[in-house]
């Protein structure tokens, strides 16, 4: 039997207002006892004829009974008082009593007991079955879930749009305040309010002080503290206002605080989305690495070379360029691109059309396939070869898309081609490829066609052209080069030349 001191846990389902169930004309339910116009909500519908239903309740139920368990002399004793008190103790939300076939009317002593303990008592008419009541509860729950999901989806879209505005932090806070119907505040590591939006619910001074205190609870200690990690979020109720605080994942001590008059289903999810966006925004602009990246960009714009700015970006002399495309048809957005960069271990991210480019320090972590993305990676290059790595990654991504591979790396293993001095190999490549060198489309088509083992369809996919176009270009290459492209020796010689180009 559960401990009487334990607060019962309600099922993880959206609550249904009792008033909404009473408003269903097809059920004909009528509340005859308990607080009127109450905010009672139902999380479940359960039927039981046990004299003591306590051990079988989770809390939040509409308990349905036909009174089979009621003894004949119950009206003159303490039976109903004990029965109702146990339901209330178990956390039951309301009691539904079915009239007929056992009882013609609801016992008067039961009505008095429900009034005494403040438990809503609902009369269920003979024409309404308990299963019909349970089905109505589930229908209302499904409607509530649909409404909640739609509200969360709309909020996610509006928050993402706000994060893309020229003033992203204030815009995100305004959207959060609007969506939760209250006040949204971003607190700095020192506890001061960086920005706020919306209206304070209730007494501003008291609620504002309480929210700042709650933010301090989730802020990571910067002086070593007690060694006990701070919670990522916390909530409280002060002066009738619902408070919540979320530590931002920047490692800098920023906290999002929310205060609203009431807490609606989906508010936690909406707040979590806002916290993620604010984490990206504050982490980008407030961290030392963000400042270093800004310095590197300014220096590049003012004429510095990649070798000169590379030390500002990360430790390490070699880099890998990654091109990635989402597996869905939708174009990648800034949030998804930042998440990919974080997974690859680099904040150096660029959204370019339908693909994302990430500059990753070589050796920082093992490069692996990323769920939901198709990736192509360059060989490890020094800063002066970033442009070459970008080209390699683009070609690797095209091959990955064509072959439906999750990740393809540009081959950087030594082979026979490495035995030829680079200058001699480049001179040989210019001679071999001279007939087609003036037509970049032919050169790139030949390169991709050879890398995909002569597959017309895969080459067409990789280059985003029709397969007949591939055939025409390869035929043109064969004519200009005056060679047989079906000869494996010819293909090998051309491939070496293209690699050394």
Tell me the CA distances in angstroms from 394 to 275, 324, 426, one per residue in order: 33, 9, 22
Does the residue 158 lie in any domain? no
Does the residue 149 lie in any domain? no
Q: How many domains does the chain have?
A: 4
* Chain segment 98-126, per-residue pLDDT in tens: 998 899 999 999 999 999 999 999 999 99
Q: Are strands 94-98 and 121-124 parallel, antiparallel or unpaired?
A: parallel
Tell me the CA distances in angstroms from 192 to 60, 182, 212, 241, 333, one per residue in order: 40, 19, 8, 21, 31
Residues 185, 254, single domain; the answer is yes
**What secondary structure does DSSP assign to 10-46, as a single string?**
PPSS--EEHHHHHT-TTTT-EEEES-TT---EESEEE
> What's the CA gap between 350 and 366, in Å, rounded?
21
**Residue 7's pLDDT is what?**
42
Does the residue 106 lie in any domain? yes
Residue 416: pLDDT band with limits 50, 70, 90: low
Residues 448, 488, single domain; the answer is yes
Helix (H) or strand (E) holding 226: none
- Up-side HSE of residue 196: CA atoms within 13 Å toward CB? 15
Residues 187, 281, single domain; the answer is yes
Residues 282, 336, single domain; the answer is no
Does the residue 304 lie in any domain? no
Does the residue 477 lie in any domain? yes
What tokens does 156 get? 């996610």
* 222: DSSP letter: S
Distance of CA 297 to the CA centre of its chain: 30
Residues 29, 127, single domain; the answer is yes
* Chain segment 251-308, per-residue pLDDT in tens: 567 889 999 988 887 888 898 888 888 887 776 444 455 667 677 777 777 888 887 8
Residues 321, 433, single domain; the answer is no
* 356: DSSP letter: E
pTM to 2 decimal places = 0.47
The SS3 assignment for 298 reads: helix
Q: Is the peptide bond before 39 cis (omega within 30 degrees of 0)?
A: no
Residues 46, 85, single domain; the answer is yes
* Long-range contacts of residues 468-477, Cβ cutoff 8 Å, at least 24 apart: 470/445, 473/441, 473/442, 473/445, 473/446, 474/445, 474/446, 474/449, 476/442, 477/436, 477/442, 477/445, 477/446
> What's the CA gap between 318 and 359, in Å, rounded?
10
Measured in degrees and rounded to the nearest 5, phi and psi for residue 213 equal: -65, -40
* Chain segment 54-71, per-residue pLDDT in tens: 999 989 999 999 999 998
**Residue 311's pLDDT is what?**
77
Domain boundary among 379, 409, 439: 409
* pLDDT, mean over the chain: 83
Q: What is the CATH number of the domain that holds 440?
A: 1.10.10.2840
> What's the CA gap between 121 and 106, in Å, rounded?
10
Q: Is the pLDDT of residue 350 over 90?
A: no
Residues 367, 480, single domain; the answer is no
Domain boundary among 367, 383, 409: 409
If one counts every other C-beta atom within 10 angstroms of the C-beta of residue 80, the result is: 20
Residues 269, 169, single domain; the answer is yes
Residues 203, 262, single domain; the answer is yes
**Residue 229's pLDDT is what?**
65
Burial profile 190-203: b = 16 or more Cβ within 10 angstroms, e = fewer: eeeebbbbbebbee
Closest CA to 319 of 265, 389, 367: 389
Residue 74: pLDDT band with limits 50, 70, 90: confident
Domain that holds residue 399: 315-409
Residues 134, 178, single domain; the answer is no
Residues 426, 496, single domain; the answer is yes
Phi-psi region of 244 (alpha: psi -120 to 50; beta: other; left: phi over 0): beta
């Amino acid at each position: 039997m559960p401990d009487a001191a334990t607060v019962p846990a309600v099922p993880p389902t959206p609550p249904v207002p009792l008033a909404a169930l009473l408003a269903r004309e097809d059920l004909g339910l009528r509340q005859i006892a308990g607080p009127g116009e109450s905010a009672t909500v139902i999380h479940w519908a359960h039927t039981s004829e046990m004299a003591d239903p306590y051990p079988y309740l989770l809390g939040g139920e509409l308990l349905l009974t036909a009174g089979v368990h009621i003894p004949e002399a119950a009206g003159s004793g303490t039976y109903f008082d004990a029965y109702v008190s146990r339901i209330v103790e178990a956390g039951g939300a309301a009691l539904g009593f079915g009239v007929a076939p056992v009882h013609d009317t609801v016992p008067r002593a039961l009505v008095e007991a429900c009034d005494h303990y403040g438990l809503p008592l609902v009369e269920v008419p003979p024409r309404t079955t308990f299963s019909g009541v349970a089905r109505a509860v589930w229908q209302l729950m499904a409607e509530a879930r649909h409404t909640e999901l739609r509200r969360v989806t709309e909020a996610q879209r509006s928050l993402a749009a706000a994060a893309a505005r020229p003033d992203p932090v204030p815009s995100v806070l305004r959207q959060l305040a609007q969506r939760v119907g209250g006040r949204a505040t971003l607190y700095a590591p020192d506890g001061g309010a960086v920005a706020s939006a919306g209206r304070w619910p209730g007494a501003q001074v008291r609620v504002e002080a309480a929210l700042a205190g709650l933010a301090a609870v989730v802020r990571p200690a910067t002086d070593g503290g007690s060694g006990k990690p701070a919670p990522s979020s916390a909530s409280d109720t002060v002066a009738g206002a619902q408070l919540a605080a979320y530590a931002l994942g920047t490692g800098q001590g920023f906290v999002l605080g929310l205060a609203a008059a009431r807490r609606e289903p989906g508010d936690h999810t909406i707040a979590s989305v806002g916290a993620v966006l604010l984490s990206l925004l504050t982490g980008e602009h407030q961290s030392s690495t963000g400042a270093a990246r800004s310095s590197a960009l300014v220096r590049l714009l003012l004429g510095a070379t990649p070798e000169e700015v590379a030390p500002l970006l990360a430790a390490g002399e070699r880099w890998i360029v990654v091109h990635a495309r989402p597996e869905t048809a939708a174009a990648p957005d800034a949030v998804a691109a930042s998440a990919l960069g974080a997974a690859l271990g680099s904040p150096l991210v660029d959204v370019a059309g339908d693909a994302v480019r990430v500059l990753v320090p070589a050796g920082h972590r093992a490069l692996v396939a990323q769920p939901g993305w198709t990736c192509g990676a360059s060989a490890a290059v020094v800063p002066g070869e970033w442009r070459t790595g970008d080209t390699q990654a683009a070609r690797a991504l095209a091959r990955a898309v064509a072959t439906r591979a999750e990740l393809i790396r540009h081959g950087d293993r030594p082979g026979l081609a490495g035995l030829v001095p680079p200058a001699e190999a480049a001179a040989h490549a210019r001679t071999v490829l001279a007939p087609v060198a003036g037509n970049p489309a032919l050169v790139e088509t030949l390169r991709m066609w050879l890398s995909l083992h002569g597959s017309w369809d895969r080459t067409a996919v990789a280059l985003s052209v029709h397969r007949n176009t591939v055939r025409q270009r390869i035929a043109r290459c064969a004519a200009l080069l005056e060679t047989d492209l079906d000869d494996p020796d010819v293909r090998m010689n051309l491939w070496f030349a293209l690699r050394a180009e």
